[in-house]
């Protein structure tokens, strides 16, 4: 449940980044900033913790 909640929160925050950059800037910078925000959320909330969990589980085996 927590992973689903974090995923939905990340999507909502990415949507807010898209909305704000759409109001502030024009052109392709909107999509570049939004994609960067999505990548940052995915890395910090999923990829780094998953890599840590795999590393810890590998040590315990």
**Mean pLDDT for the chain overall:** 91
**pLDDT digit string (tens) for 14-42?**
999 999 999 999 999 999 999 999 999 98
What total of structural domains would you count in the chain? 1
Burial class (CB in 10 A: 0-12, 13-18, 19+), 38: middle
As a whole number of angstroms, the distance between CA 61 and CA 54 comes to: 11
Range of the domain at 44: 2-60
pTM (2 decimals)?
A: 0.77
Going by C-beta distance under 8 Å and a sequence separation of 6 or more, which residues neighbour residue 21? 29, 30, 33, 34
């Amino acid at each position: 449940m927590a992973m689903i909640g974090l995923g939905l929160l990340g999507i909502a925050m990415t949507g807010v980044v898209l909305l704000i950059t759409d109001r502030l800037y024009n052109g392709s910078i909107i999509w570049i900033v939004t994609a960067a925000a999505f990548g940052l959320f995915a890395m910090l909330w999923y990829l780094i913790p998953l890599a840590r969990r795999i590393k810890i589980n590998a040590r315990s085996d």
